[in-house]
Chains A and B, each alone.
Chain A
Amino acid sequence: MGSSSIPELAADLAEQERLEPILEWLDKHPAAVTQILDAGEWGCLHAQFAEILGLRGFSEGDGSLTPCGRVWLAKNYCDFEALCGQELNQIYFIEGICGEGRWSIVYQARHKLLPIKFALKVSTARDSVQHVLEQTNALYRLSCEELVMPQDVFPVSVPLVDGGAVSAVCVAFPFIEGETIREFCRTKRPLSSNIVREYLDQVGRTLGAMHAHGQYHGDLNEHNILLQAHGENFNFKIVDLVNPNPDLDEHTRERIDFTDFKENLGRLLALMPRKRISTQKHLGDKLYVMVKALFSNQIADFASLVHALQNDRLYKAFERQKAEFISAKFSEHSSQFRLRHEEFSDISVARSYFVPFVKIFERLAKFGSAIIEGHRGSGKSSYLAALAFQPSANKHIVDPTQKFGVFFACRQGEFKIFRALSDRANRSILAELKTLIVTKVIRKTIRTVRAGISEVGAISDLDFNRISNFFTSHYPPGVTINFRRSIPESIRDLEEALMRYEVGLVDVIFRKTNRDVEAANVLNETVLIEFFSTLRESMPVFATTQFFVLFDDAGEPNVPKIVQKVVNELLRASNHVYCIKLSTEKRSYLFEDSDGKKIEAPHDYEYFDLGYDMLIKDSDSSARTALKSYFEEFLRLRLSEYRSQSIQAYLDSKPEARTIETLIGRLAGRDSKPALYSGWDVIWQIADRTPRQLIEIVEGIFEAGGISEKSEVAVIDPKVQDRVVRGYSERKLRILRSLPGFIKVNTKKRPLGIHLEEVIISFGRYSRYCLMNKGVDRAERKGRPVRKFHEVLAIEIDNQILQSPDSVAVLDALVRFAIFDDSRRTNSLDDGMSKGIYVLNRVFCPALQISFRRVNHWRLSGTRFNAFLTSPYQAVHKALQDAQKQSKGGEDNAPESFLDI
């Protein structure tokens, strides 16, 4: 074992200093060296040196020369250079010294007749070839290809510096090209996890076999393991076998080999990339638990290591502990009502709850780029996730062999850091960014494919060469495939190599390093097409597959505008192998590319507005029934464990008109009884086409009404329903305060959430005033006048020009956070012009105590709308003053019907 630590090195130095007098004495008496080596004892030396020599292990108690002492003496007094240029054993021509070990000198030699190179290891530790032959024969029985086996053993005579000679043993090994671990670690970095896996597998198993047969290496240092690397293919060769291991028992020899083995592993681990990835993540859990067990002495010898490599015992134990940890620490949501697909730890459950609005999903599932806009909770993510390939799901909503979806959950922060680049975007940065995004897509596809292979089992007909050629053409040498491993492991290595490349590229983009990524090709949409085509050609299962790259929640701030521009360029590339579909909240996505050119629908992509696609234009239309049925079906699945799967059985469903008319009348103060937002017909409309809102309201009502899976079927008290609906509505209103960000209004910066809340409350005040004061009595029914209420739920803009950037920002925020819906326009009855309308999210109606029906519009000029957006309190105050004046003057707006949802 070489001296590796500083204390050992210091001890060595101390030894040399103390041995200095002995060497001085021997220098003066050269004949004594020959005498000692020939006699095998230190007898001629001065007695005062005996103790030091004994302490160093160079002398036995009886003064005889130990193998260590013999080597020390030979190294100091042999003329090893003298053998260069000579022939040994009449076969080997020595070309020069190529290495020096603790016990030996290694020469590079060539065969006298054949064009074969040899490494001749000359050891002065012993002079008998018999022991070496015994070891060699035992090693041959192992037949391990990682061992570089001795080819020949013969005695040699090494001349001493001052005349005479010392007998030694020469072992001839085939000369192996390659780098030692030490050399490799100096030049190749960062290293992939594959090298660790191969090291454990090749070196660990070989040493395990040796030890099992009572054979030991004895000097497994960083010079004695050669590494032949071809891309991600690593071949380890263990050299310098048949070490003398003088006078050590088996246990010590075993321990020495194992310690050396771990030291070399430590050297490799130290070169793992650490900048943006932990060792655990870099190695993967399976390999990490193995490495951890090695360093914590849970694996204490090669036999245990081989056992662990064979049966995955450690990893299975880790998986079990992990499951126990998660179950002990995390409380899972017990309700059946969950919606967000992120909330399901079991993707199969999420899939079973997925109920698409067929009209939308059929279009969305078709091949072709698409942008889906919708409110929070409208189901954007669920639609995209349904298209994604999820290997662990027991049900595929689309056939993955035809439509293979690769999913990016952008909200989790993968792209957010690029926001800092927005101020200094230039051609070079945009090109690098595109290379990065393309690499991300390729890496994630590779990962998804690997996960799929792991689930379905081995695929034997993968054309590695074709895939390898793609990466060789477009990526630096480090990004390549290891042909030696199994398919999933090779793909995993490739994925890791791409990850390292990606991390390097991020640093290049931020101009912090300047490594090979910069010299690499710029990757673009053409390369992406080539990649997916390669995948089709390489894996028969993908022969006719079309690939869907899915970016969920790709609006700001999750995906900064600079990245959106690059994604748009990929989206616009018309082709037959891949398409991009992305979801975003309204007004948070930039519809242009890096050159400022707009992307156009339907030319470049298909546009989906989930709110608009669920609009109903007529109160009695079949579309209304279809939408209502859709939500009933949506809840039916979640009620599968309940006594009744019909939501109407729990929430009551009186004839719609009667319930709603009664509610509106009470809201308008026509009836002294309390207005109750209850009943299925009211509640599904309050949810305003947003499944998440519907689920949250229904879940709250069930909880407040004490309804569980085992409860008898009964209509929940309308008062309870009302309390929950109002509470939910108020909470939705108040929670706006927690929206992060500022907004600039009338030169002042205001908290965004507070300003939006003011807008809603102001609108609610106006709407409530209209409901209570601006109705019109119409024809009498049963002797009583019937009042047509002025139900204001929308603002109609006379001209769409917003005067100030402030009001544009406010309107953007109102639409983006689903406070007002801008999905539709209307044709004015006055001038026949098409005008924009903004409909308040109905979920706020209970908190504002207003009607949730869009019967009338609050008509505003552009100037007034501008004032309303920037100073809502003041604008509404003025509007109410005007309305009161009009009312006193006898004017009133005739009610118009815009009944829809």
Chain B
Amino acid sequence: MEPTPFDLDKLDLTRHSDDLFIFACGFEDRAQIIPEHVLNGRFPRTVVAITYENTGNANLKGSALLKRFKQVCCVQEIKFSPRSAERFISDCANVFDVRSLALAKSFQIDISAMSQFLVMLLLRFLRGEFFNREFHLFYVAAKAYYPPTTKIKLLLAKHERAELRMSEILSMDEPAADVMFENMLAGSFHRIDKSCLMIFCGYELNRSLAAYNSINPTRVVFIHSVGTVKDAEFRAKYSKMIHEFVGGGVSKATETVCTMNIGEQISLLREYYHYLGGDHDMVLAPVHSKMEAIAALLFVEEFPDVQVVFPVPVSYSLSKAAKGVGEVYSIKLPPIPGLRLAREGN
């Protein structure tokens, strides 16, 4: 389950003739790596490409990549927009209903260009429909993430001098456009009026605030993570600092985990669920890393009453995108707990 560094030269998606390759056409540098490698080597029989809607000219790289794939193999294309998640699921159901796809023995998925919302939706759908298949994920880390470390240090210094204003932090990222729900990730609410929101905190205060305001929880758990990039500690400190502005008078807890340790993240979520799940409605907002989106997915598979909310920004800005290409990781997802029985039972 844990992400393990992966040698790209060993990538061979044609070992099993029925393997299926899924990738998203993104605009970041790292989004190109795995698909390029597949294009330059032997490509699998079946490829599914997810394209983002309404990106205009912002995603020329993604469009070019898709075009190249179409020239050399049969590509099934599914469009994704956070605001039409239900349609995306319906399109997935149509595309994966094709016999050749449904017969795939394993799913090889490059999540590098996928948003957290897309990662969770896609995997929740696929693992629900094809519960007995293997799921191998590939993830290419970036070299540098937004906000740049220099800016973070500047803001931290300002904060220490008590000169930092909330408006300055809010202007660092795009305002939240909406808080998305999808039936598959809606969980179920049982109790009277207590809820606990667990936020995987990133560096976008707007999104955390939107998640918080949409739930109005009784308790909030801020889960910060320390990544593998340079100055990760500074980034975690910055994340903690900006989340001081979230939550008003509610009861708050703060945790720190390792970004690349999915097991640790799930254990932490389990612990909170163990003690609070009985009399709180639990809500999860994975707004930071894709690894945390995977942890959230596995957690929700185990505790399906947990609701997942996704605050999405008004736009994804090229200037604020992650830059460069870092380490490549592979992740093999564990089987779904009790899913087969649930499907038969329900």
Contact = CB atoms under 8 A, between A and B. Distances in A.
Interface of A: 189-190, 270-271, 273-278, 280-281, 284-285, 288, 321-322, 325-326, 329-333, 335, 337-340, 342-343, 345, 385, 407, 409, 411-414, 416-417, 419-420, 444, 447-448, 451, 499, 502-504, 506-507, 510, 513, 553, 557, 730-731, 734-735, 737-742, 751-754
A731 B175 contact: no
Interface string B177-209: 111011100111110110100000000011001
B273 A280 contact: yes
- Output the residue of A275, A276, A447, A503 with the most chain B CB within 10 A: A276
B262 to A, nearest CB: 19
Given A738-B210, A740-B311, A330 B219 contact: yes
B338 interface: yes
Per CB-CB distance, the 10 closest pairs between chain A and chain B, nearest first, are A285-B278, A734-B167, A274-B342, A276-B188, A333-B249, A740-B176, A417-B186, A278-B303, A409-B193, A329-B253
B215 A413 contact: yes
7 contacts: A281-B278, A285-B279, A333-B251, A339-B249, A343-B251, A738-B175, A740-B179
Contacts of B277: 278, 280-281
Contacts of B190: 277, 281, 499
Given A409-B193, A413-B189, A274 B181 contact: no
Contacts of A502: 188
B256 interface: no
Contact of A330 (B186, B216, B251): B251
A329 B190 CA distance: 24
A738 B206 contact: yes
A735 B181 contact: no
Nearest to B179: A740
A173 to B, nearest CB: 33
Given A280-B274, A737-B171, A417 B181 contact: yes
Contacts of B271: 325
Contact of B314 (A411, A504, A553, A742): A742
Contacts of B170: 734-735, 737-738
B99 to A, nearest CB: 22
Given A281-B305, A340-B248, A753-B175, A274 B217 contact: no
Interface of B: 86, 165-167, 170-171, 174-179, 181-183, 186-190, 192-193, 195, 205-206, 209-210, 213-219, 221, 248-253, 271-279, 281, 283, 302-307, 309, 311, 314, 338-339, 341-342, 344-346
Contacts of A411: 214-216
- Output the residue of A278, A385, A411 with the most chain B CB within 10 A: A278
A351 B34 CA distance: 58
Contacts of A753: 175
Contact of B249 (A343, A420, A553): A343
B314 A751 contact: yes
Contacts of B179: 557, 740
Contacts of A444: 192
Given A276-B188, A416-B186, A345 B166 contact: no
Interface of B is mostly: mixed
Contacts of A329: 221, 253, 272
Contacts of A271: 341, 345
Nearest to A696: B248
Nearest to B85: A420
Contacts of B174: 751
A751 B312 CA distance: 12
Contacts of B274: 280
A190 B345 contact: yes
A408 to B, nearest CB: 8
Nearest to B312: A740
Contacts of B279: 285
Contacts of A448: 192
Contacts of B213: 738, 740
Contacts of B195: 409, 412-413
B346 A275 contact: yes
A413 B187 CA distance: 9
A340 B253 CA distance: 19
A189 B346 CA distance: 8
B183 A342 contact: no
A734 B273 contact: no
A740 B305 contact: no
A416 B206 CA distance: 21
B167 A412 contact: no
Contacts of A280: 273-274, 277-278, 303
Contacts of B309: 413
B290 to A, nearest CB: 22
Contacts of B278: 280-281, 284-285, 288
Nearest to A331: B252
A730 B165 CA distance: 10
A741 B178 contact: yes
A440 B291 CA distance: 36
Nearest to A318: B275
A731 B169 CA distance: 12
A19 to B, nearest CB: 35
A473 B48 CA distance: 50
A325 B314 contact: no
Nearest to B283: A413
A335 B179 CA distance: 30
Nearest to A752: B175
A278 B304 contact: yes
Nearest to B195: A412
Contacts of B314: 742, 751
Nearest to A278: B303
Nearest to B247: A333
Contacts of B311: 740
Nearest to A288: B278
B200 to A, nearest CB: 16
Contacts of A330: 219, 251-253
A333 B250 contact: yes
A507 B304 CA distance: 14
Contacts of A754: 175
A335 B167 CA distance: 25
B175 A739 contact: yes
A333 B170 CA distance: 24
Contact of A270 (B171, B192, B193, B338): B338
A412 B182 CA distance: 15
B209 A738 contact: yes
Contact of B305 (A189, A276, A447, A507): A276
- Output the residue of B186, B221, B307 with the most chain A CB within 10 A: B186
A735 B209 CA distance: 9
Given A280-B274, A285-B278, A420-B86, A345 B251 contact: yes
Nearest to A283: B278
Nearest to A444: B192
B63 to A, nearest CB: 22
Contact of A274 (B171, B306, B341): B341
Nearest to B178: A740
Nearest to A423: B86
Given A331-B253, A742-B177, A751-B177, A735 B342 contact: no
A660 B275 CA distance: 53
Given A278-B302, A742-B314, A273 B177 contact: no
Contacts of B167: 730-731, 734, 737
A751 B174 CA distance: 9
Given A281-B278, A734-B166, A737-B167, A275 B249 contact: no
A751 B342 CA distance: 42
A758 to B, nearest CB: 13
A737 B249 contact: no
Contacts of A740: 175-179, 210, 213-214, 311
Contacts of B215: 411-413
B74 to A, nearest CB: 30
Contacts of A557: 179, 214
Given A420-B183, A499-B188, 20 more contacts: A274-B339, A275-B345, A280-B273, A281-B278, A284-B278, A288-B278, A322-B276, A333-B249, A340-B216, A342-B216, A343-B218, A407-B193, A412-B217, A413-B214, A416-B181, A444-B192, A499-B190, A503-B188, A557-B179, A735-B166
